[in-house]
Amino acid sequence: MKEPSVDELVGMVDSKYTLVIASAKRARQIVDGSEVLVDTDAKKSVSIALEEIKNKKLDIYREPGQGIK
């Protein structure tokens, strides 16, 4: 994965863990048929999810004891 860079994305969330979990959850939603929120040439669901995070199309927040929503 060349773009977006992981360093750039980690700055948008509170930790690498949050980035991994949020992108995996979103990738599963995309595979299950959810609408893609960005125009992209990427074919893999994880790459699409990371581009959506980069373009601030997703709200990522953590509730103590509840995980990532």
The rounded distance, in Å, linking the Cα atoms of 32 and 66 is 23
One digit per residue, the tens of pLDDT, for the chain of length 69 reads 567 888 888 888 888 888 999 999 999 999 999 999 999 999 999 999 999 999 999 988 777 777 666
**pLDDT at residue 1 in the model:** 57
**pLDDT at residue 34 in the model:** 95
Closest CA to 57 of 28, 26, 31: 26
What pTM does this model have?
0.83
**pLDDT at residue 2 in the model:** 62
Domains of the chain by residue range: 6-68
Which fold, 6-68? Eukaryotic RPB6 RNA polymerase subunit (3.90.940)
